[in-house]
Amino acid sequence: MPTIVRAKTASRLAGGVPLPLAAAHATSEDSFTAAFKIGEWRRYLRRDRLGYCIVWVLVAGLGTILYGALTLAYYSVVLCTVVPFILAPLCFYATLVSAVLFGQMYGRMRDAGPSEGPDH
């Protein structure tokens, strides 16, 4: 795998994995700067890492399935004209579903009680 591809993949994972948790924390605290207070939302992540990873993989998988289905639809001349009109509502709905899943996960992590281990 070329180095450029590895660097792009690593940067997307580094930004994409914690982003939903940071956004949920900012929304919960009603402050944009709360997203940058990593120590605060990292405590919640420690309470249920596996659950967060499962939700993240589930959302990424659903996005991949949606992308694959829309790509297959572009192979048909008839569907090729309809896909752009279907794409916007489907992407909006997928974004809503992922926001709800991450929001519910954040709420569960926040209500779980004190985290175990030191907070570094």
Q: What is the pLDDT of residues 82-112, one digit of tens each?
A: 888 888 898 899 889 999 999 999 998 888 7
pLDDT value of position 14: 73
Interatomic CA distance for residues 116 and 43, integer angstroms: 9
Q: CB under 8 Å to 39, separation ≥6 — which residues?
A: 119
What is the pTM assigned to this prediction? 0.74
- How many DSSP H helices and E strands does the chain contain? 5, 0
Give ∠ CA 7-8-11 in degrees, rounded to 5. Answer: 85
Q: Give 35-65 pLDDT, tens digit per residue.
A: 898 888 888 888 888 988 899 899 989 889 9
pLDDT value of position 71: 87
pLDDT value of position 15: 74
